Amino acid sequence: MHLFFPKNKDWKNYLLAEMSRDHAFSIGDAHPNLSVVMVDEMINFKNCSVGFSLDFMPNTVTIEDGSISKQSKEIVDQIPMDDTLWVQVFSITEKQGIISHGRSELLYSRLGKDLRKRGVKRGRFNDSNSSVLKVCLFPDRSVRYSLISPQEREKYFSLLSFFPGGFTTIKEDKKAPSRAYRKLVESSLVLQKEITKGNRFLDLGACPGGWSYIALKEGAHVTSVDRSPLREDLMASSLLDFYEGDAFNTPFEGSFDWVVSDIICEPQRILELINTWVETKRCRHFVFTLKFKGDSQYSILSTFKEKIKEVPYSCILRQLNANKNEVMIMGTLKDQESL
């Protein structure tokens, strides 16, 4: 089975609807009280995006209830001895959703010891040569695990999360002008790309300035566009240029390291931003929010899924923890030399 993890139980029905719309099949809900969706592994999700899934475990193997040491041994026996492996273990529970403590912590620590004994090297999530082992414990104490090779992880780029079950919380920053900053911070973590000192950062629809605030904090040179100015202290920053006007019609030439948009607009207008900044390779990284009114517009996700296959970027289309009725679309230029 493939496992998909919606943000929570409320979003599960939208994930099921997305599956039947974009993958032309409908599935029953084997675990109505858990925020997980199981899909037959005959369905191929390589090079696919699923908007309402925060994480993915392909081709899972099930291990029935047993001692931690027995479950660990069963997993480790399947790992090639010369493998380099990034390991993630979490539990899915009815009450708390995704957690990484308790039994999953014990299994993580046991796996570490057993993998060391077997001579398996530990890798990092963003190391493209490393395999990924994702392990999920179920309430009946059975375990599902996925072993994802470097070649497969490239194909599943838009689906796999660095966070267990896609779940994370972003540290509270009371000085930020709005809570929207959490979306940019989470996007940067999901992309595994940092905003760094001197980066040229274009923030479209920037007011009151949460995203610009984050980029300024990192020492980026920020160009912010909105019809209204940002918070006063941000406007006074020597690293910020403010352009008052329409974010879909800007006078800027050349390219930026980051082009981001949190503009409140109809989702299809984000296609214009993709045409202007992404198809023309005018940024290294982009992060755009798709904002929905109600639940009648989600079918447009299919258009974006096709669109991101055509651009020279490694793209992720996915709802984040920090999103409300939104889905993020983001990417990194594949061939950085060509910028």
Ligand X SMILES: C[S@@+](CC[C@H](N)C(=O)[O-])C[C@H]1O[C@@H](n2cnc3c(N)ncnc32)[C@H](O)[C@@H]1O
Judged by beta carbon, residue 131 or residue 323, the one nearer ligand X is 323
Report the residue number, 302 or 325, with the smaller CB distance to ligand X. 325
Provide CB contacts within 8 A for 232, sequence distance 6+: none
Smallest separation, CB 296 to ligand X (Å): 21
End-to-end distance of the chain based on CA atoms, in angstroms?
40
Q: How far is the CB of 273 from ligand X (least distance, A)?
A: 11
C-alpha span between 106 and 109 (Å, rounded)? 5
The CA distance from 135 to 87, in Å, is 8
With beta carbons less than 8 A apart as the criterion, state whether 3 and 137 touch. no
Contacting positions for ligand X (CB under 6 A):
177-178, 180-181, 205-211, 225-228, 246-248, 262-265
Beta bridge partners of 39: 2
Minimum Å distance from CB 17 to ligand X?
26
- Residue nearer to ligand X on the CB measure, 19 or 225: 225
Q: How far is the CB of 215 from ligand X (least distance, A)?
A: 10
CB 166 within 8 A of CB 7: yes
Question: Nearest distance from residue 182's CB to ligand X, in Å?
Answer: 9
Which residue, 18 or 257, has its beta carbon nearer to ligand X?
257
Q: Which two tokens stand for residue 101?
A: 């403590």
Residues 6+ apart with CB under 8 A from 32: none
Q: Name the residue number minimizing CB distance to ligand X.
A: 210
- In the complex with ligand X, the residue whose CB is nearer, 39 or 207, is 207
Place of tokens 């929010």: 289
Give me the least distance between CB of 205 and ligand X, in Å please: 3
Instruction: Identify which of residues 263 and 278 has a Cβ nearer to ligand X in the complex.
Output: 263
Give 272 or 310: the residue with its C-beta nearer to ligand X: 272
* CA quadruple 32, 34, 36, 37: dihedral, nearest 10: -10
Q: Tell me the closest approach of the beta carbon of residue 237 to ligand X, in angstroms.
A: 15
From CA 308, how far away is CA 43, in angstroms rounded?
21
Distances from the Cα of 294 to the Cα of 102, 280, 291, 325, angstroms: 38, 32, 10, 8
Q: Give the SS3 label for residue 305.
A: helix
